[in-house]
Structure 1
Amino acid sequence: MKIYTKAGDGGETYLASGIKVKKTDSRVDLYGTCDELNSFLGLALTHSSGLEEEFTEYLSSIQHLLFEIGSELAGYVPRDAEGSILTEQDIENLEKEIDRLTLSLPPIKNFILPGGSEIASTLHIARTVCRRLERDVLRYVESQGEIAGNVRKYINRLSDYLFTAARYANLKQERTETTWKSRTKK
């Protein structure tokens, strides 16, 4: 099988539902942004040496789940009653992992600027892409159609996880977090 099909040369593509759309269609934007997010997680994992296996395996499991979320955003409709591959349990698992990582982190007393180790910096980028995906999903829902509620909840929670994971990676790699300092406050 060749990687190129030439089918999209005219600026159109097919959604997973079989519907032909322009490549500028908002659904294409949604699954493209989900793919971008997944790619940043892949980059983060390349910088994960020395971090515990439980942490890196969880990041990897998110990548696999994001691939399925991307297919839903592309129009694939799962056969379950919820209308999504994602379950409430997936959201609860994400919350439990946030809580697990938070236990070892110092309390937040100031805004934290993105940075630190390579993995933490990449996770911060992933967090911002995740927030963009969330905004784009909400715009899509407001203007054109429905996206399964579990997908919306998961993406919202995922950005919180990515922030926490970035902090955790900095802690484990012994990097100091940079706190924001206002120019107007002394």
Structure 2
Amino acid sequence: MVKLNRIYTRTGDDGSTGLASGPRRLKSDLRLEAIGTVDETNAAIGIARLSLSGEADAAMSRIQNDLFDLGADLATPETGEPLPYEKLAIVDSQVERLEAEIDAMNARLEPLRSFILPAGYAAAAQLHLARTIARRAERLMVALSKGEGEIVSGPALRYVNRLSDHLFVAARIANDEGRADVLWVPGASR
């Protein structure tokens, strides 16, 4: 269980921060950029939840919890050294749950015949914003995974990829099951 007695520690005043597994890294490090963008995704989902209720809100609550798991996963990089505790990591069942939720929501929607603009009802626009932040987190995680000596687990990469899909479909559901989607009209403003 996490226990925070003090919010500030002064240990980061030099521009570094400690990972869960102990080592310190610069706050500008790609791993920290990825963790911060996962956190930003979580905050954007929190804003979207202000406009949601019922199962949509419950799904976003589960996702917010998963995003803390993802942050913990990223904050505990593989080093080959044993940890004195069990690493909290994204697992395949979390990815599979997202896929099942995507499929259930998508079954309620008419197929798309155009790209849609991130607009419509407030909840939809907020979910689209969260989706774009999740895509940035994914790009950072992929870049991190290509770095020398850096490992990002397959389930973590799959989770963040499915998350943006989930947020896209959830935004369509929030837009009156797609009826309030705002379609892109190519060249409309020429």
User: TM-score higher than 0.5 here?
Assistant: yes
What is the SS of the residue equivalent to 1:43? helix
Gaps of 5+ in 2: none
Quote the residue 1:156 is aligned against: 161
Quote the residue 2:173 is aligned against: 168
Change (3 A) 1:184 1:165: closer
What is the count of residue pairs matched by the alignment?
180
Quote the residue 2:57 is aligned against: 56
Verify the 8 A CA contact 2:69 2:88 in the aligned structure 1.
no
TM-score, structure 2 length as denominator?
0.87
Give 1:22-171 correspondences, 5 Å limit: 22-48=26-52, 51=53, 53-75=54-76, 85-144=89-148, 145-171=150-176
Mapped partners of 2:133, 2:45: distance in 1? 11
Percent identity for Structure 1 against Structure 2: 39
Gaps of 5+ in 1: none
What is the SS of the residue equivalent to 1:13? strand
RMSD: 2.3
Verify the 8 A CA contact 2:72 2:89 in the aligned structure 1.
no
Paired residue type of 2:168 = F
Change (3 A) 1:126 1:37: same
TM-score, structure 1 length as denominator?
0.89
Paired residue type of 1:62 = I
Mapped partners of 1:56, 1:86: distance in 2? 21
Quote the residue 2:6 is aligned against: 2
More helix by share: 1
Change (3 A) 1:184 1:170: closer
Could you list the per-position Cα deviations for residues 83-116 of structure 1 after superposition, in whole angstroms to 9, with x for gaps in the alignment?
7632222211111101111121121000001011
Verify the 8 A CA contact 2:72 2:88 in the aligned structure 1.
no
